[in-house]
A and B are shown apart, each in its own frame.
Chain A
Amino acid sequence: MSKIAVKVDDLTVAYNYKPVLWDIDLEIPEGVLMAIVGPNGAGKSTLIKSILGILKPIAGSVSIYGKPYTKQRQLVAYVPQKGSVDWDFPTTALDVVLMGTYGSLGWIKRPGQKEKKAALEALEKVGMLAFKGRQISQLSGGQQQRIFLARALVQNASIYFMDEPFQGVDATTEIAIINILKELRKAGKTVIVVHHDLQTVPEYFDWVTFLNVKKIATGPVKDIFNDDNLTKTYGINYKVSIQE
């Protein structure tokens, strides 16, 4: 068994009185491409946001390669939900991707030639180089998603957290994105994706976590992606034909 990239212990998060996540224990091994699946309101985004320190948990702890997240930021990149920002913001595609370099730059220092080169490379990787000067509101939904992905790629992290990167994108973009994710895994990176389309789980991912406030199951897709766990997670009799 390889190293543990992300370890979550007893994590409990509540917005008001009702817990959104209850007592989550989770170990994500290094180098997996993992889907987090579960119904709406299961706490999938909340789990990612709590791991990243955007939300404050009521209890529990998170470690990245054995150390707290705040000490390991440079190892982690985040792709938020596309709808979480205002795309009418006055800026260009290249500028958004450059934001991925801000973390390593730290306070005050501005991005220079080196950062710009890295950003252009990331844009090329997601097939958006031709749109580098485009105002972001003039990009299609799929293109905006690619820009977000490029911004995370620029961070050159070891662990990538992505919140529904396939939401509202067309088939071409979905294939382009999953190919990039598979490349990341090939390079030894760990990729964690909040995912909605159960049909594509066996095809895209090798690791899966079932979540519905509590953790239902986590492990290799081929072992635990079955009707039993799906039924436990979604509460209805779920039948998925698993492609071998």
Chain B
Amino acid sequence: MDITEYIKLVFTDYTLRTITLGTAILGAVTGMLGSFAVLRKQSLLGDAISHAALPGIAIAFLITGAKDTNTLLIGALISGLIGTFWIRGIVTKTHLKSDTALGLILSLFFGFGMLLLTFIQKQPNANQAGLDKYLFGQAATLVESDVWLMAIVTGICLIVMLTFWKEFKILLFDADYTKTLGFNTKFIDILITSFIVLAIVLGLQTVGVVLMSAMLLAPAAAARQWTNSLSIMVFLAAIFGAFSGVFGTAISASQNNLSTGPVIVLVAAVFVAFSFIFSPSRGLLFKQIRFIKNRRDLELHKTLAFMHHIAETHEDISHPHTIKLLNNFQGYTKSTLQKLVEKDYVKLNGNMWSLTKTGFETAENLYTKQTTEDE
């Protein structure tokens, strides 16, 4: 199946269209909210919440005996929220650090959830099969109503975010200061956290308990590399998330036996890797290039300064000196000398070099600029 064929199929095939839309919306909303989680240094909160949702799914099934998605997700929402508030409680009431609290709640709830799942599987109820899809997600089970639910939640989330943008931003940056200005920081905090829980629960059906936190973190981590503005970061994270969903679905739909959730997460990981390497300001590649260039510049400047040091002793600054003199100097290579000639700082004449007027002046002013810039 080639690309044009696939794109045609997305628009014509009902199932594929539903899944593509669903994963795109899911990626957008988790990317958006994930930016807040990452900036609050609560990256692992998503992991804890999604694992904490598992027992809720199992209990909802045990109570209702039905596998209706919405019922199960309400169960997931409730137990996810309970887990979240337990984490908050542990952090505020005890001396445990938040990573410990997160780990504790994550494993406790997940363990309990797994226990319930195995118990359910032993039941003589024909309806039991398929609950384990919430472990790794199964995008193929998405139906139109699921996508509508996602779209509505995303819409509400967007409205709330735009309304309280200023409050979200200041709380993320400086919570104590926000409090002194008279804002109810607890309210803002609970608002953000509740939406994170909601987004995670929505994603459980598609991506699953185990991988859900990647949907939250990967787009945000990738977006942070490209911008220094919060609004652009949130926007980019939503875009990266949505594209992860679309590409992930496309890859898994065009290959047999590739589960959609993990593929989406892997695509998001590719976004992260690409961003880490190629982002112009924070990326590894350009950092390395800048580093090498700076080193070269420094070597060049040091050589020039050394020449200046020699030339200074003569009345005529352009008095020729032998190149051999430079061999004592570590930073000197033939190519640095060549570059100095190119820049018209130095003239060569056989085995002799002499500083030009520009070269002499440049050398004199080297790094005096820096002290004024640094204050």
Contact = CB atoms under 8 A, between A and B. Distances in A.
Contacts of A137: 228
A86 B41 contact: yes
B39 interface: yes
Contacts, number: 84
A49 B176 contact: yes
Given A108-B164, A140-B374, A52 B170 contact: no
Contact of A91 (B165, B179, B183, B229): B229
Interface stretch (A22-30, A77-85, A194-202, A229-237): A77-85
B321 to A, nearest CB: 40
Nearest to B176: A54
Given A86-B41, A91-B229, A91-B230, A76 B177 contact: no
Interface residues of A, number: 36
B174 interface: yes
Contacts of B180: 52-54, 73, 76, 78, 103
B3 interface: no
B166 interface: yes
B163 interface: yes
A172 B224 contact: no
Contacts of B169: 91, 99
Nearest to A77: B180
A142 B375 CA distance: 10
Interface in B132-183: 163-167, 169-170, 172-174, 176-183
Main secondary structure of the interface of B (DSSP, over half): helix
A20 interface: no
A239 to B, nearest CB: 34
A124 to B, nearest CB: 16
| Chain B interface size, under 10 / 10 to 19 / 20 to 34 / 35 or more | 20 to 34
Interface in A130-173: 135, 137, 140, 142-143, 151, 170, 172-173
A130 B320 CA distance: 44
A102 interface: yes
Given A73-B181, A90-B233, A107-B183, A96 B167 contact: no
Contacts of B166: 102, 105, 108-111
Contacts of A49: 176
Interface string B219-233: 000001001111011
A92 interface: yes
B72 to A, nearest CB: 36
Given A78-B180, A105-B166, A107-B164, 13 more contacts: A49-B176, A54-B179, A78-B176, A84-B174, A86-B39, A91-B173, A91-B228, A91-B230, A102-B166, A103-B183, A108-B164, A170-B375, A173-B375
6 contacts: A84-B176, A86-B39, A86-B173, A90-B224, A137-B228, A140-B375
Interface of B: 39, 41, 163-167, 169-170, 172-174, 176-183, 224, 227-230, 232-233, 374-375
